């Protein structure tokens, strides 16, 4: 490959038709491009026209991925102009289609690292080769056991890591040349993949236990060695491993688990926003989480930590929570509880009818929740009967059906507004249109982790943080929850994705300042805004 071809194939430096005549001469690109020199604005207009010509969402995603792999700056310039339109294309929900058809539609992911449990001695080499000498400051890694609400998708799940990093850059300004998506291929229990002749991952069942954790140790050690200034973001690990990994490393390195911590702090921000509207206190709420997996337990943990920060003892705070899983309400004698679930179990002697609390409807009647959160992936689980029962016992029920993609949502925003006669304070896990009811336009907040993790991660990187702790995460939640205008009729509990870049900046500054104030920076920093400004990347030539 000659020098001209190498430049035009390098997405970090390629400008395509925007190379000036002087640059073309200097870089030996003369004759390799058409004569006209375009501005980035002209390129973006041209690319957006091509994007619009694609009819299906998956076709739009494939077009954007090809642009991403060709010209990183143009991709992010264009995404910055159309962030609301592009977010569901590059990430949830269209990324789900991409993962399901990954083998058939394989597009070589630029700079992704594939770490195999069958080759543990090659972990460091895999990371080094993928990084190609770049100064990596952010690693997003997934083993793809718990992809969205889809389950185990093996090596196909690398698209989740890639999409997550796209949002980090588009929303917060993380330098795209300093990020690395990683797939941990520990096998898969998805039989459809194992029997698919086109499947690109290890063709054996998923490995658990000591061998798995040894691989994770090797991986974390290699990241710390090769990229000592990086934030390690864990994404979509299974419920049996996610909490264990976070607990092991969170006090030792700069790390973040979006499913446990990210989901939790976004929901906390939404609840705080709801409290701003209802004028109630979070310490007076009764929380019911339907779906006690990684996300559900993480949400409960973040909410409980906030109650403790607001003055309740740990034992008092715990009494405000009810976790419901496939067995029903979780009790002390419920079999096969995860460590996280055990923190929130109830005693049977609290209920005269404990043996009947095996379904959501009966639990709602028994505990009268004021806040109900769905992470169950059970479509339609929040029925009209259940919602009306909840609304009969609280003036402003806070209801967050968060399961995604769309087909797995516990209820729609329109249903919840209608069934509660406009009383419900709603956030959804997927984008939802405004709801018109009795002359009021209800804006629906999206409890999307993208509202939070870009600012949290970028703030921690800019502040050269040693760890991300509960105090910092709480500060981020209060910053996001305080953005909503509680005086507007039909106000949303969370700010809109349309303002994602602006409030990601706010969150990043709050996070960076929290790290600095706690003395958790690796460098001697005093001002978060300066640190953010010096670190922020912009999409321009």
Binding residues for (S)-malate: 404, 448
67: left (phi over 0), alpha (psi -120 to 50) or beta: alpha
Angle at 187 between CA 185 and CA 190, to 5 degrees: 120
Give the up-direction half-sphere exposure of residue 374: CA atoms within 13 A in the CB hemisphere. Answer: 33
Residues 6+ apart with CB under 8 A from 6: none
CB 441 within 8 A of CB 488: no
Q: Which two tokens stand for residue 365?
A: 């009647």
Reduced to 3 states (helix: H, G, I; strand: E, B; else coil), residue 78 is helix
The single residue of 164, 168, 212, 322 carrying the catalytic annotation is 164
Identify which of 477, 429, 432 has the alpha carbon closest to the alpha carbon of residue 453.
477
Q: How far is residue 136's CA from residue 168's CA, in Å, rounded to a whole number?
A: 14
Q: How far is residue 69's CA from residue 125's CA, in Å, rounded to a whole number?
A: 22
The single residue of 15, 60, 76, 91 carrying the catalytic annotation is 91
CB 158 within 8 A of CB 114: yes
Reduced to 3 states (helix: H, G, I; strand: E, B; else coil), residue 475 is helix
DSSP string, 320-376: TEEEEETTEE-BTT-TT--HHHHTT-B-GGG-TTGGG-SSHHHHHHHH--SEEEE-S
Residues of the binding site: 235-236, 259, 404, 448
- What's phi and psi for 241, nearest 5 deg? -120, -30
Residues of the binding site for a divalent metal cation: 235-236, 259
Write the burial class of residue 498 (CB in 10 Å: 0-12 exposed, 13-18 middle, 19+ buried): exposed
Annotated catalytic residue 249 = no
Do strands 328-329 and 321-325 pair parallel, antiparallel, or not at all (unpaired)?
Answer: antiparallel
Asked, as a colleague might, if the bond just before 93 is cis with ω within 30 of 0, I would say yes
What residues pair up with 185 in beta bridges, in sequence order? 116
Asked, as a colleague might, if the bond just before 405 is cis with ω within 30 of 0, I would say yes
Annotated catalytic residue 388 = no
Residues 6+ apart with CB under 8 A from 362: 328, 353, 356
Residues annotated catalytic, as ranges:
91, 164
């Amino acid at each position: 490959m000659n020098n001209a071809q190498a430049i035009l194939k390098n997405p970090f430096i390629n400008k395509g038709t925007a190379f000036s005549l002087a640059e073309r001469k200097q870089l030996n690109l003369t004759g390799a491009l058409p004569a006209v020199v375009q501005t980035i604005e002209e390129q973006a207009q041209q690319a957006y026209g091509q994007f619009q010509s694609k009819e299906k969402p998956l076709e739009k995603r494939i077009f954007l991925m090809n642009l991403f792999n060709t010209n990183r700056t143009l991709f992010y310039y264009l995404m910055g102009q159309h962030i609301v339109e592009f977010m569901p294309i590059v990430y949830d929900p269209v990324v789900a289609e991409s993962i399901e058809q990954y083998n058939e539609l394989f597009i070589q992911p630029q700079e992704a690292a594939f770490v195999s449990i069958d080759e543990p001695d090659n972990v460091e080499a895999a990371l080094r080769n993928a990084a190609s000498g770049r100064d990596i400051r952010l690693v997003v890694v997934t083993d793809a056991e718990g992809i969205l609400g889809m389950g185990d998708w093996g090596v196909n799940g690398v698209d989740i890591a890639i999409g997550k990093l796209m949002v980090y850059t588009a929303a917060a300004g993380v330098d795209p040349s300093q990020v690395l998506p990683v797939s941990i291929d520990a096998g898969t229990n998805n039989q459809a993949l194992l029997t698919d002749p086109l499947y690109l991952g290890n063709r054996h069942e998923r490995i658990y236990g000591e061998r798995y954790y040894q691989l994770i140790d090797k991986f974390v050690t290699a990241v710390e060695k090769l990229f000592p200034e990086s934030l390690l973001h864990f994404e979509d690990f299974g419920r049996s491993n996610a909490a264990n990994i976070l607990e092991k490393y969170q006090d030792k390195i700069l790390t973040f688990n979006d499913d446990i911590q990210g989901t939790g702090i976004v929901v906390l921000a939404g609840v705080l926003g709801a409290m701003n509207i209802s004028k109630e206190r979070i310490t007076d709420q009764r929380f019911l989480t339907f779906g006690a997996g990684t996300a559900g337990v993480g949400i409960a943990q973040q909410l409980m930590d906030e109650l403790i920060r607001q003055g309740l003892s740990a034992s008092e705070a715990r009494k405000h929570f009810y976790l419901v899983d496939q067995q029903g309400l979780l009790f002390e004698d419920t079999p096969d509880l995860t460590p996280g679930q055990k923190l929130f179990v109830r005693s049977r002697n609290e209920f005269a009818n404990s043996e009947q609390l095996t379904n959501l409807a009966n639990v709602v009647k028994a505990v009268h929740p004021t806040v109900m959160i769905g992470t169950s992936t059970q479509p339609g689980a929040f029925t009209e009967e259940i919602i009306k029962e909840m609304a009969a016992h609280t003036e402003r029920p806070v209801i967050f059906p968060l399961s995604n993609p769309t087909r797995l949502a516990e209820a729609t925003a329109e249903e919840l507004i209608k069934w509660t006669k406009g009383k419900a304070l709603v956030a959804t896990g997927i984008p939802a249109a405004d709801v018109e009811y009795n002359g009021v336009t209800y804006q629906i907040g999206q409890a999307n982790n993208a509202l939070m993790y870009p600012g949290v991660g970028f703030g921690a990187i800019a502040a050269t943080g040693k760890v991300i702790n509960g105090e910092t995460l709480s500060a981020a939640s209060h910053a996001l929850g305080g953005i909503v205008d509680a005086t507007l009729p039909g106000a949303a509990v969370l700010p809109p994705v349309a303002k994602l870049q602006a409030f990601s900046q706010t969150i990043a500054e709050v996070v960076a300042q929290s790290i600095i104030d706690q003395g958790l920076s690796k460098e001697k920093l005093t001002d978060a805004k300066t640190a953010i400004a010096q670190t922020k990347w912009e999409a321009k030539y």
